[in-house]
Amino acid sequence: MTTAVATPSDLTQCSAEQLIGLYRSAQVSPVEVTQAVLARIERLNPLLNAFCLVAGEAALQSARRSEARWQAQRHGGAPVGLLEGVPTSIKDLILTQGWPTLRGSRTVDPMQAWEVDAPVTARLREAGAVLLGKTNTPEFGCKGETNSPASGITRNPWNTAKTPGGSSGGTAAAVAAGLGPLGVGTDGAGSVRIPAAFCGNFGLKPSFGRVPAYPLSPFGSVAHLGPHTMSVRDAALMMNVMKRADARDWTALPPDTSDYLAGLEEGIRGLRIAFSPTLGYAKNVDPEVCAAVARAVKELQALGAQVEEVDPGIEDPLDISTGLWFVASAMVWNTLNQAQQAVSDPDFRAQALLGQAYSVLNVHQLNQRRGVLGSQMRQFMQGFDLLVTPAVAVPAFDVRPAGQVAMLPESMLGWTPFSYPFNLTQQPAATIPCGLTRAGLPIGLQFVGPMFGDAMVLRAARAYEVLQPILRPQI
């Protein structure tokens, strides 16, 4: 399968920044772009199953309003929004006014009133984004694959026999396939970074609380919201919108009015980077992943970074992550009636039953250990500007139906040992493609920043992207 760098010759392959430039110069209109994207969705979504809801007429109406605002601005009218007219998708865990948010589940009634926008949805609307629809997720975002019994199996645009990962698999597949340049995902144990790595796009998990959330995830303070894009600059632009304040999230960080595009091109010369190829405990990292990440680290050194190969000195927190996850699954499970439980995803059901075995003491012990881990990582990061690791230990594996593999901590997350620690510590982390396997599947490089170091993570990823532009699948 061949690849090509995105060019403006195909509107569906343009970045958000490119589209905004084309709108500003009146070379194309938001309506033309939205029509092109919707036509591509119509052609490819039956193959990929990235979207569970496509709101074509609503998107076109939004695009027409954006076109009018661009025309008014060119004649001295009010400034347009930062994302004016850019097609954008929303993961089906995130409330969107007027559309069902089914959370990948047959237990949610689609006929109820849907009157609320989540903070990120509201900010995107205010910025003029053209919302296309909702992207697929496994039930309640419960796993690193996207194979919901309610909305089916989502497939990877690089190879449709492979999984796009999860739980933001629909978002990643859509963005990589040119079904809108921007997408919103969520990340509770890697759910932005796993599918971004598998699908070859850029995915950022911001510092916890940087992007306000409402309602808060039932999986607690490991759950972040972040952008999926095909360029780092698009992610920075998107974050400038997503991080705006919303009083509904009582866990949100203080408002950040900085511009994440400012300083993005400053490079990494002189930055202190810790390179940990295994985090000290990952035993089954694919050799092609190891080789690609090692090459990328050498390229970071060539860009002037001071790289030291060193492990952060932590133990594998797999049992902390899955233990807290299983307990939260049990909490959600207990809100369902028997009829709803009977139609639940077997993987979610298995997680919930495992969670019921934990006592209150067990949960407190897990949280105590989480605190120790967070303190260790904050101390370790005092000596470095960034930590670099593989994003996921393996390339994308074959798609499989829900319930095919026994639900154990190792089968749930053991193959992605580099993602879940940084949900527990709440640090910002991003993945960017750093090569392809011999079979033509993307490999991800992960940048982890100190807490609140979101801009630094974006800056480093951008420096690498300039050297190795992100490729797109030919689909």
Give the pLDDT score at 80: 97
pLDDT at position 295 over 60: yes
3-state SS, one letter per residue, for 242-293: HCCCCCCCCCCCCCCCCCCCCCCCCCCCCCEEEECCCCCCCCCCCHHHHHHH
pLDDT at position 7 over 90: no
Architecture of the domain made up of 3-319+347-473: Alpha-Beta Complex (3.90)
Determine the Cα–Cα distance for residues 147 and 138; give it in Å rounded to an integer.
6
pLDDT at position 340 over 70: yes
Q: How confident is the model at residue 9 (pLDDT cuts 50, 70, 90)?
A: confident
| 417, 282 Cβ separation under 8 angstroms | yes
pLDDT at position 300 over 80: yes
Residues with Cβ within 8 Å of residue 125, at least 6 apart in sequence:
117, 131
Q: How confident is the model at residue 6 (pLDDT cuts 50, 70, 90)?
A: very low
The strand ranges marked E within 44-160 are: 51-54, 87-91, 130-135, 147-148, 152-153
If we measure between CA atoms, which residue out of 253, 87, 161, 229 comes closest to residue 441?
A: 161
Give the pLDDT score at 8: 63
Other beta carbons less than 10 A from residue 451's beta carbon: 17
| Average confidence (pLDDT) over 218-232 | 97
Domain range summary for the chain, segments of one domain joined by +:
3-319+347-473
Give the pLDDT score at 62: 98
Express each pLDDT in 374-390 by its tens digit. Answer: 999 999 999 999 999 99
Q: State what percent of residues in the chain have pLDDT above 90.
A: 98
Write down the H helix ranges in 303-398.
318-333, 338-342, 346-355, 360-381
pLDDT at position 4 over 50: no
Determine the Cα–Cα distance for residues 102 and 107; give it in Å rounded to an integer.
8
Residues labelled catalytic: 91, 167, 191
Helix, strand or coil, per DSSP, at residue 441: coil
Determine the Cα–Cα distance for residues 140 and 167; give it in Å rounded to an integer.
9
If you average pLDDT over every residue of the chain, what do you get? 97
Give the pLDDT score at 301: 98
Express each pLDDT in 252-291 by its tens digit. Answer: 999 999 999 999 999 999 999 999 999 999 999 999 999 9
| Average confidence (pLDDT) over 303-328 | 98
Determine the Cα–Cα distance for residues 143 and 321; give it in Å rounded to an integer.
12
